[in-house]
Structure 1
Amino acid sequence: MFAYIVKRILLMLPTLLGVLFLTFVVIQFVPGGPVEQYIAEARRAGGGGDTSAYRGGQGVDPRRIEQIKKLYGFDKPPSERFVKMLGDYARFDLGRSFMQNKPVAQLIVEKLPVSISLGLWTFLISYLVAVPLGVAKAVRAGTRFDFVSTIIVLIGYAIPGFVLGVALLVVFGGQLQWFPLRGLTSANWDELSWGARIVDYLWHITLPVTAMVLGSFAVTTMLTKNSFLEEIRKQYVLTARAKGLSERRVLWKHVFRNALIPIVTGFPAAFIGAFFTGALLIETLFSLDGLGLLSYESIIRRDYPVVLGSLYVFTLISLVTKLISDLSYVWVDPRVKFD
Structure 2
Amino acid sequence: MLAYIFKRLLLMIPTLFGVLLMTFVVIQFVPGGPVEQMVAQLQGRDTGGEGAAAAGSGYRGRQGVDAARIAEIKTLYGFDKPPVERFWMMLKQFAQFDLGKSFFYPKDVWSLIQEKLPVSISLGLWTFFLSYLISVPLGIAKAVRAGSRFDTLTSLLVLVGYAIPGFVLGVALLVVFGGQLQWFPLRGLTSSNWEQLSWGSKVVDYLWHIALPVLASVLGAFAVITMLTKNAFLEEIRKQYVLTARAKGLSERRVLYRHVMRNALIPLVTGFPAAFIGAFFTGSLLIETLFSLDGLGLLSYESVIRRDYPVVLGTLYLFTLIGLVTKLISDLCYLWVDPRVKFDQ
TM-score by length of 1: 0.95
Is the deviation greater in 111-120 or in 235-244? 235-244
Name the aligned partner's letter for residue 201 of structure 1.
Answer: Y
Residue equivalent to 2:115 = 110
- Aligned counterparts of 1:57 and 1:127: Cα–Cα separation in 2: 59
User: Where in structure 2 are the equivalents of 1:49-68 lying within 5 Å?
Assistant: 57-68=62-73
Letter matched to residue 15 of structure 1: T
Looking at structure 1, the residues matched to 199 and 62 of structure 2 have their Cα atoms a distance apart, in angstroms, of 59
**1:37-89 residue CA offsets vs partner (Å, 9 max, x unmatched):** 111111115999xxxxxx98430122111111111111000100000000000
Provide structure 2 residue ranges, at least 5 long, that are not aligned to the other structure: 52-59
- What per-residue deviation string (whole Å, max 9, x for no partner) do you get for residues 99-144 of structure 1? 0121101100111101111111000000000000000000000000
1-structure distance, mates of 2:255, 2:61 = 85
Match of 2:294, SS?
A: coil
> Paired residue for 1:207, among 212, 233, 238?
212
Is the aligned partner of 1:325 residue 2:330?
yes
1:163 matched residue in structure 2: 168
Q: Output the amino acid matched with 2:41.
A: E
For residue 18 of structure 1, report the CA deviation from its aligned partner.
Answer: 0.7
CA distance in 1, matches of 2:235, 2:35: 60
Residue 148 (1) aligns with residue 153 (2) = yes
Quote the Cα distance in structure 2 between the aligned partners of 1:30 and 1:73.
16
Query: Given that residues 188 and 293 in structure 2 are in contact (C-alpha distance below 8 angstroms), is that contact kept between their aligned partners in structure 1?
Result: yes
Report the secondary structure of 2:43's partner residue: helix
* Separation in 2, partners of 1:198, 1:254: 40
2:216 counterpart of 1:218: no
Aligned-pair identity in percent equals: 78
Q: Does 1:267 align with 2:272?
A: yes
Work out which of the residue numbers 177, 186, 190 in structure 2 matches 1:172: 177
Alignment of 1:18 onto 2:18: yes
Q: Is 2:258 aligned against 1:253?
A: yes
Tell me how far apart the structure 1 counterparts of residues 63 and 176 of structure 2 sit (CA, whole Å).
Answer: 53
Q: Deviations over 1:236-268 (max 9, x none)?
A: 211221222211111111111111011100101
Residue 272 of structure 1 deviates from its aligned partner by 2.1
**1:278, distance to aligned residue in structure 2 (A):** 5.5
Structure 1 residues 70 and 254, CA gap change in structure 2 (3 angstroms): same
Q: How far apart are 1:275 and its partner, in Å?
A: 3.2
Q: Matched residues in 2 for 1:314 and 1:68: separation?
A: 30
* Deviation of the 1:35 alpha carbon: 1.1
Question: 1:141-187 deviations in whole A, cap 9, x for unaligned?
Answer: 00000011101111111111111111111111111111111111110
The match for 1:186 among 187, 191, 196 is: 191
Q: How many corresponding residue pairs? A: 333
The 1:121/1:57 distance shift into structure 2, 3 A limit, reads closer
Q: Which amino acid aligns with 1:140?
A: R
CA distance in 2, matches of 1:57, 1:266: 57
User: Does structure 1 residue 86 correspond to structure 2 residue 91?
Assistant: yes
The whole-number CA distance in structure 2 between the counterparts of 1:331 and 1:82 is 40
Taking the aligned partners of 1:57 and 1:81, their CA distance within structure 2 comes to 31
Separation of aligned partners in 2, 1:330 and 1:99: 46
Whether 2:269 is the aligned partner of 1:237: answer no
**1:158 and 1:284 mapped to 2: Cα distance?**
21
**Residue range with higher mean Cα deviation, 267-276 or 219-228:** 267-276
Counterpart Cα distance in 1 of 2:5 and 2:31? 41
Three-state SS of the structure 2 residue aligned to 1:266 is helix
CA distance in 2, matches of 1:107, 1:72: 18
1:226 Cα deviation from its structure 2 partner: 0.8
CA distance in 1, matches of 2:72, 2:78: 10
- Tell me the alpha carbon deviations over residues 194-253 of structure 1, each in whole angstroms, 9 at most, x when there is no partner: 100000000010001101100001111111111111111112211221222211111111
Q: CA deviation at 1:9?
A: 0.9
Q: Which amino acid aligns with 2:137?
A: P
- From 324, 340, 343, the equivalent of 1:335 is 340
Structure-2 separation of matches of 1:238 and 1:244 = 10
Gaps of 5+ in 1: 49-54
CA contact (8 A) 2:187 2:209 kept: yes
Match of 2:129 among 124, 137, 140: 124
CA–CA distance in 1 between the matches of 2:234 and 2:275? 23
Q: Which amino acid aligns with 1:190?
A: E
1:137 aligns with 2:142: yes
Q: Which residue of 2 aligns with 1:4?
A: 4
Q: 2:283–2:296: 8 Å Cα contact kept in structure 1?
A: no
The question of 1:28 aligning with 2:32 is answered no
Instruction: Tell me what 2:57 maps to.
Output: none
Worse-superposed segment, 68-77 or 237-246: 237-246
Tell me by how many angstroms 1:191 deviates: 0.1
